[in-house]
Every structure is written in C-alpha cells, then in structure tokens.
Structure 1
Amino acid sequence: MISAMTPQSAPPVHPLASPFTTEAQPASTGGRRVGVLLSHGFTGQPASMRPWAEALAAMGYAVEVPRLPGHGTTWQDLNTYRWDDWYAELRAAHRRLVDRCDVVVLAGLSMGGALVLRLAADKPSATEVAGVVVVNPAVASKRLDVKLLPVLKHVVPSFPGIADDIKKPGVSEHGYTRTPLKAVHSMMQAWPGLVRDLPQVTAPLLYARSSVDHVVDESSEPLITSKVSSRDVTVLRLPESYHVATLDHDLPLLIEESAAFIARVTSD
C-alpha cells in the first residue's frame, strides 16, 4: 500500500527514530554470522528497542531495528499506513539479514511481536527463522470498543495514546500521544489470519510477559503459546515492568534471557 503522503510533504522524522543496524562479529558468536531482527510496536519507534539492540550488538550479533512506516513522525502520518506496509518493511529488513548472516532470530515488542510471528509463520526455514522472541505481543483484545472501530474510524481520527506504559520513572519511548484509528483497525484486522496461521510457527519461542501491562491484556498469551507448533516454548515473566518492558526495570533480565536463548537456538 502506498501512503497518501508525498515525499515533499512527508513529516520530519524524530531524532531518535533512525533505524539501527550493525554487522555480525563471528569471532564473538562461535564462528557463525548470527542476525537478530527487532521490531518496535504500534505508535512506538526504534528508540524503544535500542538498549536491547545495543546489548545484542555488543555480543557480536548483526542487529536490524527498522523504523516501521508512519512511526517516528506524527500520528496523522501513521494513519495513512496499514499492516501490509509495516510487514513489508519488516520483511525487507529480514531479507537484508538473511543475505549477510548464516542464521537469523526474530524479536518484537507488542505489534512488533505479532509482526515477527507473522514472519515466522511465513518463513519456516530453520536458518531464516532460527527462533522467535516476543515481548507482550498483541494478537487479540478484550476491549469492547474494538468492535466499533469499523465505524469509529470514520467518525473520529484518533483515541488517546498508549505510549509510555513504563514502570521505571523518567523513561520515555517517544511514542505518539494519540492512537490513529484507521491504522489500529488495520492491525486488528490482521489478527484473525495470524492466529489461524500460528500452527505454522515451528521455531523455538521465548514468550516474555510483564506481570502488569496496561496496553495488551492477557488474552493473547494462551492463543499464542497453545497454537504454535513449536515444541520449544519458554515463558519468561517480567515482574517489575509494564508494557514497554524493553525500557523498563526488567531490561537486564530480558537481555540475559534472550541472549541465552539466541545462543542456544543458533548453535551448530
């Protein structure tokens, strides 16, 4: 899908929203070129993933954190993009990693978790998707107003924002203060197809879930963990974090556990 924004009228990108990319250091990863693709969430931007990305890069992994279309600019800009646009950007970043690495692991936060699960369902190759890490992923919601989105999106352009659900004081993911309804409806329209195809996910899965999450409710966890076909599913609890756990108190735990997972699933 092509955005209605033209290059001349495109809004400026937030200073912290630049994509993050590093090269693999095989000497640090057992001689293999290991890539890790990280995807930020809806209304967020690469800044929400950067500390995690930098930690993995320091371990020798090739890391890609793309900026999904419409993110890191304005919520109005995001409202001109849809799920297929975000997925296309993620697939392109994945292809770049596959082309320069021996094996690739996927990871994502919130909507980013749903996107990497979609990619894992579409790419069953063990080298292209050696493992999947999801943090508070969203593939369902108990919110009643979700059923009204097909009408509401034509009446009001946005709802209050969902950014910065972070327990740690003084931390921001620099997300939007408003939630664009046409864009969020597109995301939710993709959920049923993804849930249907979750049995196609055969790669090892690390599922990280915050004990308190004010954005994504508990309905997604049983859907994902029970429907994937992988026989290697690990659930990691994050007791001191809210939704954006990638910037919260449990970040060190997430880094430690995800690094151990990546090392395990990419070993010869």
Structure 2
Amino acid sequence: MTTPVPGSTAVLLIHGLGGTSYDLGVLQKALRNAGAVAHAPTLPGHGTRPEDLLTTHAEAWLDALTQTYNQLLTEHEIVHIAGMCMGALLALVLAHRVRHGVDRPQDRLALLATPIHIDGWSTPWYRELRHAVYRIPGMAARMRVEEDEPFGIKNPLLRRIIKAKLARGDSFHYPWVPLTCIREVDRLRVKAHAAMHAITCETLVIHAREDELTSLRSAETLQAALPRARTVVLENSYHMICVDNDRDQVAAELLGFFGFDPAAARRKGPAAAD
C-alpha cells in the first residue's frame, strides 16, 4: 500500500468541453513553480477528433476523474480539485461523489467560470430550444456547435491567435462539438445543482463579470449554495479566464487559496517556460 508523501500537495486540474490542458493556461506552470504536483488529465473523447465525443457521456468523464483522484489520495498528503468551465461542473460533482474535504478537511475546491446557468451575453435567444432538439431521435448527434468569435477571449491579440490555431486544426481545442455533448453538459448542470448544497469544503469561485457564456448569476448561485465559498469577480476577461487578460490574477488567487505563495504565478523559471 502506497503511503502519501508527508507535506506533498497535488492539484487535480479539469479542463473544459472540447478542450485540453491548454484551457488551464498558466495554472499548471504556476502550481509547479510553487511546489505542487499538478495533474491535468485529458478527458475521454478529447484530444483526438470531435467525432469521438459522439459516444462519450458524462459518466465516463466522472469515472476517469474518480480513478485519478483516488490515486492521488494514495500519493499525496493534500489533494485539491480545480475545474474550468465544464471542468468546474465535473469538479463539483466529483467533490460530492468522493466526499472531498469531509475526511480530509485540508483539501479544497476551486470552481472557475462555472456554467451553472448558460445565459451569457453572446448566447443566442433561442438557446433553450436545444432541449426540444434533444428529444428528436438522432438529431443532436447530427448537429454541430461551432467555436466562434469571441472564443471566450477579450484580449484581441490572443483572440487572433486562437482563431488562427483553430483554422489550422491544432489539437489544443476542437473547432466544434456535437450537440450531444451540450446535452451532457446540461446533465452535469443538473447534477451540480443537486450536489452543491452538500459540499462542505472550502471553495473558491472565480468568474468574469463579462463572461459571454455564463453570466455572473452562476457565481452568485454558487456563493449562495456553498457554505464555505469565497467569490472573486474578474473585470477584464471573457469566459476563458485562465488564458485571458486576468490570467495572472486567476493563478495568484488559486495559489493563495491552496496555501502557496501567490508570487509564484509570475515567477519565471524552467517550469514556466513556454
């Protein structure tokens, strides 16, 4: 039986729908600079081609994360969870499933740009019609949700870079996802609503005021439901807060919350090299 290394801290980082660890921006480097062990597994159906998501369900993501989480528990004295976008929904549901922070009160949870409500300023007025499409056999599998401007990015230079990378077909993020996956996100939203009232660990909620996918109402819902939550509102980013203008603030807030020196978010070194 493996004995956890005394004093060691691991952070399970969970990326968003259609993404990879690139969704997490500078977080992995900042955590490693600070002395943590950062784990950012690629979720099932991701990192290959969008079609692989057609037969992938939320349960597969949760099962894979549960396995990784339990392995980390055997190796590290402290294990934190942090998720971005859909990854934040998964983090919340995972925390409930594994009783995160109940038997190990030092373990904490960070929820970044959590889409409890899909009601941001760029979402179309007909967004709720997707629930009707879900009921038409085979239709959701044939429909694509394309990545489009502003790509969750407020910074114009970064936005142009993301647009060019998507056009080239770079593997950092899918250019589209099937509507079936949006249905899985909606299922996770229901699970997260049910789970949040049972979460007792210390929780950090970070959300951008101008998030185009999910409004500040999501952060307010989490703050009201989670008994030990603290919310940070960002003023200069859209949805992809780990790579947008406020990325250094996000990293510093996360490091401080997890008990590390926030200055490591800006510290340069081999682990922080691009």
Shorter-normalised TM range: 0.7 to 0.9
Which is worse superposed, 169-178 or 105-114? 169-178
- What does 1:1-80 correspond to in 2, within 5 Å? 32-80=7-55
Q: Deviations over 1:165-192 (max 9, x none)?
A: 1122234383222121112212212322
Residue pair 1:80, 1:183 contacting (<8 A) in 2 also: no
Aligned to 1:148: 132
- Displacement after TM superposition at 1:161 (Å): 2.3
- Is 1:159 the counterpart of 2:159? The answer is no
With 136-145 and 71-80 compared, the bigger mean Cα shift is at 136-145
- CA shift at 1:41, angstroms? 0.5
Whether the 8 Å contact between 1:104 and 1:128 is mirrored in structure 2 is no
The alignment covers a number of residue pairs equal to 234
What runs of 5+ residues in structure 1 fail to find an aligned partner? Answer: 1-23
Equivalent position of 1:263 in the other structure: 259
Backbone CA RMSD of aligned residues? 2.3
TM superposition shift of 1:204: 0.7
Structure 1 distance, partners of 2:137, 2:185, is 13
**Residue 208 (structure 2) pairs with residue 210 (structure 1):** yes
Q: Give runs of ≥4 in structure 1 deviating > 6 Å.
A: none
Structure 2 residue identity aligned to 1:226: A
Instruction: Choose 215-224 or 182-191, whichever is displaced more.
Output: 215-224
What is the Cα deviation at residue 145 of structure 1?
2.6
Q: CA separation in 2, counterparts of 1:147 and 1:64?
A: 34
Distance in 2 between the 1:162 and 1:188 partners? 20
Contact 1:106 1:132 in 2 (8 A): yes
**TM-score, normalising length: structure 2:** 0.78
Partner residue of 1:19? none
The amino acid that maps onto 1:158 is R
Q: Tell me if structure 1 keeps the 8 A contact 2:105–2:201.
A: no
| Cα drift, residue 243 of structure 1 | 0.7
* Distance in 1 of aligned mates of 2:13 and 2:134: 30
Length-normalised TM-score, structure 1: 0.80
**Matched-pair contact (CA < 8 Å) for 1:35–1:101:** yes
1:6 counterpart residue number: none
The aligned counterpart of 1:120 is: 95
1:183 to 177, 181, 192: 181
The AA in structure 1 aligned to 2:201 is: A
- Residue 185 of structure 2: SS of its match in structure 1? helix
Provide the secondary structure at the position in 2 that maps to 1:32: strand
Task: Find the counterpart in structure 2 of residue 12 from structure 1.
Answer: none
Higher RCO structure, 1 or 2 (CA under 8 Å, sep 6+): 2
1:101 shift after superposition: 0.3
Percentage of identical aligned residues: 21
Alpha-carbon distance in 2 for matches of 1:122, 1:165? 30
Deviation at 1:146, TM superposition (A): 3.3
